[in-house]
Structure 1
């Protein structure tokens, strides 16, 4: 249920559960500053629609200051020329700061309130924050950016050095985990970076800026600019930006790719995924039903690897759906700060309205809505997790970024594979079968970045493995090693033999 939010002139001292939200500030060239009000728009409580803070957006002068500071530091070369051990020590100091002074509590509560993700999930993400910086530091200490390889005339230096200033654009879903991963990776690479968080969930970025400031990183190494996509567009098109890491929607990814194409600026794009979950007739249906419910409810269905299409063998469809609906009936959909809630609201009214339009479109295509989760008596942006049955597969090829998934049946493995590869997106896949040899064989043929078998989880399942995007799901790979190396180019230096003139 939902009611339109009320308006307010200024909520800069907004509180929740008796605690103030972090003040909305930029961090530019080593200094905090307050951006201008953003057209009287407000951040709202996803649970109630009530306003929390007036949104703020960087002006052109602030953006230019951030670009200039990053460019100057890179031109000086001091940050790039630090040894890996020296940069690792800086990252460890950031991690130490983030591990104390209630950072996790402030971040998790702010993220829950603004994004709608339940506090149990945002708390886990916030507590992982120091580990992200420690992981990047460990990668540097292992010497991965400075190696010696054999050459014909002695050892050859194989160095990875930063392209230059990097623009990091983080989304409103998972702002802490995604934002921190980008920041730690860029800093580890020696790339001065500018973080542009989502205008809807900026608080974890502000808290990271505070920790980085206290850790004493060089001015210009990390900067934070608040605002919407228009300020990101200004920075993407600036020639001082030498790499862009973006997580968000397909239209935004396409715009960034076009802006970067002429000058071949490296781009790392993680966009979206209409992720397929395949249930074979020999699957453990209780296990599969749990995975389906998780895929619909984790982060309120608002994450890039959420369930998009359920592909189930026709012989077990009805039994499986009964089990899924039984689980969904036990899901407590409620306030995101309630420790007992299993699922919270959508992030804001625009997202709520979009999901309603998606459901209307699917029902107009013949879809039958299946849902069993009671709605709470709250005026926020709540939508119960919903399966949509009876649609044609051609009508469900596009991603619905919310707690909604289509259901399709198949008769055999060949038909299942056609369905599984039947979209232009390829981020994640899931396979349930008690015959693991069969499951692996099928998963290897799925055109997607990763496939998890007989389980559904938020984090990666293999240490050191990348998160890859295929098709319209993006470009490039993410992970500790992959993301750090994205911000760098190879430089190979060594003594060479002299070939004879004339090719003799």
Structure 2
């Protein structure tokens, strides 16, 4: 397990210049595995934020990026991808994300290697003329254009920071929108690597900027009238605050806020396959992702056998240091989050929950929680998301009862159904009030290349996806020759 790592120095990228965030928070960014300090946390001050806002407003007002042709923007996105394609970039990002978020190195390495593809995909969308089309009109063809609302604020979370942050940046730049990225203060390093790559690629001043800090600077930018669109991935409280701030001026918001995701196992399901899916849902990204397993809903006739299979697989899960190539799962991101998840487990135990786990904890002082199922609670006590490797177990005796349970929370991000009868599984999935349902499989990636990732209820607002995220940053503009109606309504 290599220890020869050095995190990128914390630096903003504002108006084409790198700078040290002015405020020392007096707190350290810690190794999730050991709790040891890695770096002093720093934040922009008010003046640095204002400089970034002025620069993005100027870039938009002067049309620096919007008036760059789609072909030229696509060429730049490809150049951006080239700058991110080096082994050094991938290694820096994968190690930093692993140490700070706790995700195992095998997972963060995959995300770092996929990073250039995100920008190439956005470039391909532009070359397919996704933003400029012709539609039939009464007097010939009509121009149907999509143009940026204006400067965009991109707020990325600490879980999956590379994948989520890059998707937002590539989408905004493809749309022609100058943008400011504010990553989580706990996982800022992949954003710094992206800023350096954008600078080397020659991005115009003010078109892409990076501001480091916590929710204080996020709030300052969300509430600034120069920001014309906000894309946020994070918690429900943050999403509500952004929605309130943007409501008065009808600022478009794209909000992905998490989910208490249901996995339904019918009596005829392949229980070995279902058990594998359950363990994946608990352990991938250490349970710290918005489509992780929240509630396991299983037919009462196969519950005991299924749980035995799950616990057998969990006993072989290697919970360990996130940089260890042999680890299957790592720690939670920081001690505060660890304490919150432990408190949720204790709350469910106090409501009659029986804790089921079989994964050994490592001999490390970090934020480690074994993947855990909690059986025996009332469904009313498991309606809220636990953002960690913990899921509740509930049984059903009929399809109608299963559907009531599956639609029994205010969140609706993802769902999973296991059944040998695919037609039955599809029919059931069609009735689940959630953004997407995967049948007989559990994966990190979207169900299809062109499929959106929707959010229902308190899981958020709007859709994310290849085309959908680019189009979010734009409004439609329709231009054509019109017939002249006679006066007086004749």
For residue 19 of structure 1, give the secondary structure of its aligned residue in structure 2: coil
Does residue 355 (structure 1) correspond to residue 341 (structure 2)? The answer is: yes
User: How far apart are the structure 2 equivalents of 1:19 and 1:41?
Assistant: 21
Contact 2:23–2:45, Cα closer than 8 Å, also in 1: no
User: 1:299-338 alignment to 2 at 5 Å?
Assistant: 299-338=285-324
Does residue 370 (structure 1) correspond to residue 341 (structure 2)? The answer is: no
For residue 141 of structure 2, give the secondary structure of its aligned residue in structure 1: strand
Does residue 259 (structure 1) correspond to residue 234 (structure 2)? The answer is: no
Query: How many residue pairs align between the two structures?
Result: 489
For residue 272 of structure 1, give the secondary structure of its aligned residue in structure 2: coil
User: Which residue in 1 is equivalent to 2:31?
Assistant: 45
For residue 125 of structure 2, give the secondary structure of its aligned residue in structure 1: helix
Q: Residues 331-376 of structure 1, C-alpha deviation per residue, up to 9 Å, x if partnerless? A: 0000000000000000000000001100110000000000000000
User: Which residue in 2 is equivalent to 1:118?
Assistant: 104
| Cα deviation, residue 100, structure 1 | 1.6
User: 1:46-61 alignment to 2 at 5 Å?
Assistant: 46-61=32-47
| Cα deviation, residue 36, structure 1 | 2.5
| Cα deviation, residue 82, structure 1 | 1.3
Q: Residues 290-325 of structure 1, C-alpha deviation per residue, up to 9 Å, x if partnerless? A: 000000000000000000000000000000000000
Q: Residues 218-260 of structure 1, C-alpha deviation per residue, up to 9 Å, x if partnerless? A: 1111000000001000000000000000000000000000000
Contact 2:317–2:328, Cα closer than 8 Å, also in 1: yes
User: How far apart are the structure 1 equivalents of 2:119 and 2:195?
Assistant: 13
User: Which residue in 2 is equivalent to 1:34?
Assistant: 20
User: Which residue in 2 is equivalent to 1:285?
Assistant: 271
Contact 1:355–1:402, Cα closer than 8 Å, also in 2: yes
| Cα deviation, residue 78, structure 1 | 2.6
1:341 to 327, 348, 351: 327
| Cα deviation, residue 77, structure 1 | 1.0
User: Which residue in 1 is equivalent to 2:202?
Assistant: 216
User: How far apart are the structure 2 equivalents of 1:468 and 1:125?
Assistant: 21
User: Which residue in 2 is equivalent to 1:95?
Assistant: 81
| Cα deviation, residue 101, structure 1 | 5.0
- Which stretches in structure 1 are left out of the alignment for 5+ residues? 1-15
User: How far apart are the structure 1 equivalents of 2:354 and 2:47?
Assistant: 52
Contact 2:334–2:367, Cα closer than 8 Å, also in 1: yes
For residue 301 of structure 2, give the secondary structure of its aligned residue in structure 1: coil
2:445 to 459, 468, 480: 459
| Cα deviation, residue 217, structure 1 | 0.9
Does residue 173 (structure 1) correspond to residue 159 (structure 2)? The answer is: yes
Does residue 194 (structure 1) correspond to residue 183 (structure 2)? The answer is: no
Does residue 420 (structure 1) correspond to residue 406 (structure 2)? The answer is: yes
| Cα deviation, residue 502, structure 1 | 1.1
Moved beyond 2 Å, runs of 4+: 36-39
| Cα deviation, residue 150, structure 1 | 1.1
User: Which residue in 2 is equivalent to 1:162?
Assistant: 148
Contact 2:122–2:466, Cα closer than 8 Å, also in 1: yes
For residue 268 of structure 1, give the secondary structure of its aligned residue in structure 2: strand
Q: Residues 153-172 of structure 1, C-alpha deviation per residue, up to 9 Å, x if partnerless? A: 11110000000000000000
- TM-score normalized with structure 1 length: 0.97
Q: Residues 168-188 of structure 1, C-alpha deviation per residue, up to 9 Å, x if partnerless? A: 000000000000000000000
User: How far apart are the structure 2 equivalents of 1:126 and 1:39?
Assistant: 28
User: How far apart are the structure 1 equivalents of 2:359 and 2:373?
Assistant: 11
Contact 1:37–1:54, Cα closer than 8 Å, also in 2: no
For residue 138 of structure 1, give the secondary structure of its aligned residue in structure 2: helix
User: How far apart are the structure 2 equivalents of 1:464 and 1:105?
Assistant: 29
User: Which residue in 1 is equivalent to 2:420?
Assistant: 434
User: How far apart are the structure 2 equivalents of 1:229 and 1:347?
Assistant: 17
User: How far apart are the structure 2 equivalents of 1:158 and 1:82?
Assistant: 18
2:478 to 492, 495, 498: 492
1:234 to 220, 234, 240: 220
Does residue 129 (structure 1) correspond to residue 115 (structure 2)? The answer is: yes
For residue 416 of structure 2, give the secondary structure of its aligned residue in structure 1: strand
User: How far apart are the structure 2 equivalents of 1:418 and 1:242?
Assistant: 40
- TM-score normalized with structure 2 length: 0.99
1:69 to 44, 52, 55: 55
Contact 1:290–1:324, Cα closer than 8 Å, also in 2: yes
2:395 to 409, 414, 422: 409
User: Which residue in 1 is equivalent to 2:69?
Assistant: 83
User: Which residue in 1 is equivalent to 2:489?
Assistant: 503
User: How far apart are the structure 1 equivalents of 2:444 and 2:406?
Assistant: 21
| Cα deviation, residue 20, structure 1 | 1.4
User: Which residue in 2 is equivalent to 1:275?
Assistant: 261
For residue 297 of structure 2, give the secondary structure of its aligned residue in structure 1: strand
